[in-house]
Amino acid sequence: MSLRFEAFGRSALPALLISFTALLGSYSALAQSAEGGRGKSGGDLISLSKDQNQWVMAPRDYANTRFSQLNQIDTTNVGHLQVAWTFSVGADKGQEAAPLIVNGTMYVVAPYSGVHPNQVFALDAATGDLKWSYSPKPNLSAVGVACCDVVNRGLAYDNGKIFLNTLDDYSVALDAKTGKELWHTKLGEINRGETITMAPLVVKGKVLIGDSGGELGVRGWVTAVDENSGKIVWRAYATGPDKDVLIGPDFKPQFDWMKGKDLGVSTWPPDAWKIGGGTMWGWIQYDPDLNLIYYGTGNPGPWNHLQRPGDNLWTTTLFARDPDTGQAKWAYQMSPHDLFDYDEINESILLDLPINGQNTKTIVHMGRNGYIYVLDRQTGKLISADPYDHINVSKGVDMKTGRMIRDEEMVPKLGQTVVEVCPVADGAKDWQPSAYSPRTKLIYVPHQHMCMNWKTSDVAYIAGTPYVGATVDMYAGPGGYRGEFMAWDPVNRKKAWAIKERFPVWSGTAVTAGDVAFYGTMDRWFKAVDAKSGKVLWQFKTPSGIIGQPVTYSVNGVQYVAILSGVGGWPGAVANSAINPRVRNGALGFAGGMQDLPAYTSAGSTLLVFALPASDRPAGQQSNPSGAQPRGRSAPGQSQPNQPQQSPGNAEQGSGK
């Protein structure tokens, strides 16, 4: 297999080709002790993820907790955070990626835009100095079929290699030290509308990757690629016969309506499953003890439900699979015959919770349809399903059947507009990942609070073009706000506190042993809040709106917090693209709901890294070993002007289920 590692193809660009300093820095990175955040290379991911100085995968750990044991930054001093260094990724589109920090090096990927789409950068995690960069050879046609901005949600690492997914359907392996391409594998076809935006996850030597394109009649899949050779090991489709979905004799769903042969065919009109969606562009979880991976599938296509009668299995479904073979162990469909684009690619968190007096291995899923689900992750048994935002299209989940109880008056009819549909097509929550703290025993959930009008229309399938069949107009939900950052108690099944935001909270979150939770807003605030009470302790005005994922790490005993600033994604496209905000149904309906966003922000491409000043750290710890001076600082207690929906210093306390 030929490698695209040439000057005019996929190329690694050493920052200082003949610099002795760079070579020495690379040697030093390997020689540093784990205490400084620069542990031994080649360790397995389970061990590496236990090193709290590092952030070795986008979700921090296989359980997807995004919790760090670091506590140098805590509730008493977080108000003194200042900018340690910044870096531009050079592509002014949506910045959704989570930086990785491995052995003292930060790895970050740009969106599919600019001079070098999906460019990868390796930076000194303490100073921001560039070690190397890698530029894929782009097929710019991928931009034309990308549904909702040209984002990339992050990289993966294992055994000295960095793994990149490109929008134009390639999986690429790079040498983590040099940026040299090791292999590349084509996984999809952009002329069918397939793209890749998710962060891969490496499990037992396999790079796990899913596709995007549910609004273009794409057939969803998850693929396992051998991390050493780039060869495809297995592929599990979301629709079609059992042999394609990798359903065999070990498959044991809990509910009878999900039992039977080839349900991925029989629950669709003839051949509709071939263009039926079910893409997987979100998050994968892994339980090493059970040797199971978990992920959810996307919406069925088209959005016009009248063109696809039936349950449309296995879309909007949570799967448990054997990572060695891909064979399904159990599945649970959350929105049978989905009406409103309720993908279930959202993150889940693997938690051991006390359920009815018994410690239970659970999987907690923050559903796009507005419910938080708790299931037994060994068997798939449904334990609970509770609403966490305003819902009027359903009346709950029937625990005997596992099916949503629909409000039949809200079911769309051809050519008629259904008004005040809640939640919206992007759900009460979308891809933006939550975090869990074992200290507070709370889940921190960034999400939307919006409703919409929905008009169904007939649509024809043409490969590589939109296959939707609905016109949507979104707006703020009850109370007049559009987003919320909340803490959820998964044992008592209720909201603990919440912070209302002007716009959808489209960033991820991270939480630490310092009892601080971090998140960002689309109107340019990066915030630190008390994880116990929700009190805002610190906020910093960033160059652009935030839709990225905060991470925290330590080098030489200094704790850092990093976030990408660059508005975009589905709700932010009106601020970084040529979309007329006066056309309310633009951007699949989000233009109307975000008409005022361009007044608060424009596109951006800045990586910001924060640390405490030396005076707030134990003696002898330095945040800038290179001697560089901090480039900015926000004042503690900085207020937010024109934000009537939120009290800057206090969170709204939850009132229960």
Q: Which residues are catalytic?
A: 215, 299, 341
Residue 276 backbone phi and psi in degrees, to 5: -95, 5
Q: What is the chain's percent helix, strand, coil content, to nearest 5?
A: 10, 35, 55
What is d(CA 39, CA 379) in angstroms, rounded to the nearest whole number? 37
| Of 65, 111, 63, residue with least CA distance to 88 | 111
| Of 612, 611, 524, residue with least CA distance to 128 | 611
| Of 314, 315, 477, residue with least CA distance to 388 | 477
Burial class for 111, CB neighbours closer than 10 Å (0-12, 13-18, 19+): buried
Could you tell me how far CA 414 lies from the centroid of its own chain? 33
> Which uninterrupted H or E stretch holds 263?
helix 263-266
The region that residue 604 occupies, defined by phi over 0 for left and psi between -120 and 50 for alpha, beta otherwise, is: beta
Taking a C-beta distance cutoff of 8 angstroms, is the pair 298, 278 a contact? yes
List of E strands, 211-342: 221-226, 232-237, 284-287, 292-296, 317-321, 328-333
Using alpha carbons, list the distances in angstroms from residue 14 to 23, 122, 295, 618.
Answer: 11, 10, 36, 35
Residue 95: DSSP 8-state: -
What is d(CA 655, CA 376) in angstroms, rounded to the nearest whole number? 26
592-595 CB contacts, 8 Å cutoff, 24+ apart: 592/473, 592/474, 592/475, 593/424, 593/450, 593/452, 593/473, 593/474, 593/475, 593/476, 593/482, 594/474, 594/503
Taking a C-beta distance cutoff of 8 angstroms, is the pair 87, 123 a contact? yes
Residue 29 backbone phi and psi in degrees, to 5: -60, -35
